């Protein structure tokens, strides 16, 4: 808050460079791009606090898309992975659909899937 858009983007860019230990963006390797994308999505989510309550449908859709994308990359399928997640998260009962989860449970599943998809 209180910064111009250019200052904010500059600060964000500096964080990216520091996080991936490169002198400039062009030095990022194509193999680093999945990690860069995950970092970017995480930072964007941090920056958009309140998104869950201000635009719940968009928030839910973005979470589900991110979960499905990560699952596809890991080669996981709903029938095997959902019960595993429910057990690891100590949920009261297993789930078969992301759309039926509460906001809290969807967020917990999202965090767990992101952790699982990291190399």
Q: Mean of the pLDDT values across residues 90-114?
A: 91
Q: Is the pLDDT assigned to residue 7 strictly greater than 80?
A: yes
Residue 11 lies inside a defined structural domain of this protein: yes
User: What number is the average pLDDT over the span 47-71?
Assistant: 79
User: Are 56 and 99 part of one and the same domain?
Assistant: yes
| 53 and 98 part of one domain | yes
Q: Domain count of the chain?
A: 2
- Residue 40 included in any domain: no
Q: Is residue 63 pLDDT above 70, yes or no?
A: yes
Q: Do 29 and 58 belong together in one domain?
A: no
User: Who's near 105: CB < 8 A, 6+ residues apart?
Assistant: 89, 91, 95
pLDDT band at 54 (very low <50, low <70, confident <90, very high): low
Could you tell me if residue 8 is inside a domain?
Answer: yes
Same domain, 58 and 84: yes
Per-residue pLDDT, 71:
93
The answer as to whether 77 is a domain residue is yes
My answer on whether 20 and 55 are in the same domain is no
d(CA 48, CA 117): 22
pTM here is: 0.58
52 and 87 fall within a common domain: yes
Question: How many angstroms separate the CA atoms of 60 and 67, rounded?
Answer: 11
Q: What is the mean pLDDT of the chain?
A: 86
Tell me which residue range forms the domain holding 5.
Answer: 1-33
Q: How confident is the model at residue 1 (pLDDT cuts 50, 70, 90)?
A: low
Q: Are 67 and 93 in the same domain? A: yes
- For CA atoms 25, 31, 35, 41, the dihedral sign is positive
In this structure, is residue 38 part of a structural domain? Answer: no
Do the beta carbons of residue 104 and residue 112 sit within 8 Å?
A: no
Asked if residue 43 is part of any domain, the answer here is: no
Within a domain: 52? yes
């Amino acid at each position: 808050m209180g910064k111009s858009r250019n200052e904010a983007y500059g600060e964000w860019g500096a964080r990216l460079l520091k996080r991936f230990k490169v002198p400039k963006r062009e030095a990022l390797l194509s193999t680093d791009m999945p990690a860069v994308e995950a970092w970017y999505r995480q930072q964007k989510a941090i920056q958009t606090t309140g998104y869950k309550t201000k635009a719940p449908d968009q928030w839910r859709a973005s979470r589900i898309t991110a979960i499905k994308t990560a699952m596809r990359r890991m080669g996981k399928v709903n029938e095997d992975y959902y019960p595993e997640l429910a057990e690891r998260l100590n949920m009261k009962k297993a789930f078969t659909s992301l759309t039926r989860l509460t906001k809290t449970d969807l967020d917990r599943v999202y965090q767990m899937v992101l952790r699982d998809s990291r190399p």
